[in-house]
Amino acid sequence: MLDIEKKELMIQTLKNKVNKQLLYYLDVCARCAICRDACHQYKVTRDPKYIPAYRAELIRRLYKKYFSVLGKLFPKIYEAKDIDDEFLLSELYQVTYACTGCRRCMYYCPFSIDTLHILSVAKAILLSAGMENQILRELSDAAIMKGENIELFKDIFVTMLKESEPEIREKIKDKNAQIPIDKKNADVLYVALSGMHSILPAAIIFDKAKINWTLSMFEAANYGYFLGDSQKAKTIADRIVSEAKRLNVKEVIITECGHAYRVMNFFYEAWTGQKPPFKVSALIDSISRYIKDGLIEVNKNPSSEIVTYHDPCQVGRNGGFFEEPRYVINAITDNFRELTPNRTKSWCCGGGGGLVAIPEMDEFRIKTGEIKANQIKETEARIIISPCENCRLQLDSLNEKYGMDIKVKSMMEFVAENLKV
């Protein structure tokens, strides 16, 4: 049992989260079980606790206990539960941090119940109980610490960039090509992930397209979002906003990272009440525009290898980018073969929601990715492209586990390899 002070904090947290949207979701669910077969985690494990409706039921039981007259009077009949019930909190932790946030269940639900919104309430309760995921908390705190001490990392970062510039110059045949950093009045601030794999291909594309750009000193990933701590998520996002304002850029392009794009383009305004004073774009959209506008040209790859594409949930179903990646792929190859199903009905790969960063979830996420692995095998493709870091890490794991014998590529890598110079 938790102490009284912490229990009261949890009740107050739940009270603060109760609004018309949450009440609608809790009230309208018909227990029809359509969401059951839309969830890859339930389909593979057949464990009832991963049914989206059951995840919501855990929050419903807490609501009944503290905000429903019948739940208060007849808790056993109405399955109302105390907020410090150890079994309920344990299950709440398991099902909440296991969810990838793919929202496939919402797409199939006849009432469009957003399980991800309900689980954001669950995360807030777990945070107030001190039961949040510790790995995600540590990664969030590390990002905040780096933002507060960026000068300690700057020289090492700049040296790494300079060592990579000869590769860009060789690729695009331009001896003046470089990776600019801390450049004021650039048109574009590019926000990458940690590591040159998300910087170098984009730099090749930007320089070939003659874009006036500069590289952010911060990573796009926002583990505060995965943790469910909106204050930490806002603090992490603030680093990029402040940098973009200081450099006076017109556009911020977020690398191939679905949640990072959504944080900057959708959630930041909700958290702060202020719209960023610059355009926010996803790299996949920018690359598509560069090809359409003739800023870059790509070679039609003569290879007979079949190429397929995985719709990342945060990029596609939650971000709205379906046709842009397909336009780019079809500009490069005539051997594109779709996964079935795809687009809004695409199966989650199993690696979203921060799961690839949580060691305790490794076995579970790889097991629940079996549906995606079977999809890929059915295409007989030798290359799979996905514009999402977490998806690619998961696909690499599935490749090893299920013997798919496939090359996993980012979209920017695929384009950079096939640029016409």
Contacts by residues 55-58 (CB-CB < 8 Å, ≥ 24 positions apart): 55/95, 55/96, 55/99, 55/115, 55/118, 55/119, 55/122, 56/25, 56/26, 56/29, 56/113, 56/115, 56/118, 58/88, 58/91, 58/92, 58/95, 58/122
Domain of residue 213 covers: 137-292
pLDDT per residue as tens digits for the range 218-236: 999 999 999 999 999 999 9
Task: Based on the fold, state whether residues 127 and 199 are members of the same structural domain.
Answer: no
Task: Based on the fold, state whether residues 255 and 369 are members of the same structural domain.
Answer: no
pLDDT per residue as tens digits for the range 27-38: 999 888 899 999
Task: Based on the fold, state whether residues 274 and 323 are members of the same structural domain.
Answer: no
Residue 300 lies in a domain: no
Distance of CA 81 to the CA centre of its chain: 32
Task: Give the domain CATH number at 320.
Answer: 3.40.50
Give the pairing type, strands 383-385 and 407-409: parallel
Task: Based on the fold, state whether residues 269 and 324 are members of the same structural domain.
Answer: no
Please state the pTM of the whole predicted model.
Answer: 0.94
Residue 297 lies in a domain: no
Task: Based on the fold, state whether residues 197 and 232 are members of the same structural domain.
Answer: yes
Task: Based on the fold, state whether residues 158 and 287 are members of the same structural domain.
Answer: yes
Encoded tokens for 91 = 């299950």
Task: Based on the fold, state whether residues 123 and 185 are members of the same structural domain.
Answer: no
Task: Based on the fold, state whether residues 203 and 159 are members of the same structural domain.
Answer: yes
Residue 283 lies in a domain: yes
Task: Based on the fold, state whether residues 110 and 173 are members of the same structural domain.
Answer: no
Q: What is the pLDDT of residue 207?
A: 94
Residues 6+ apart with CB under 8 A from 289: 295
The count of structural domains within the chain is 3
Q: What is the pLDDT of residue 75?
A: 85
Task: Based on the fold, state whether residues 145 and 266 are members of the same structural domain.
Answer: yes
Q: Average pLDDT, stretch 285-309? A: 94
Task: Give the domain CATH number at 63.
Answer: 1.10.1060
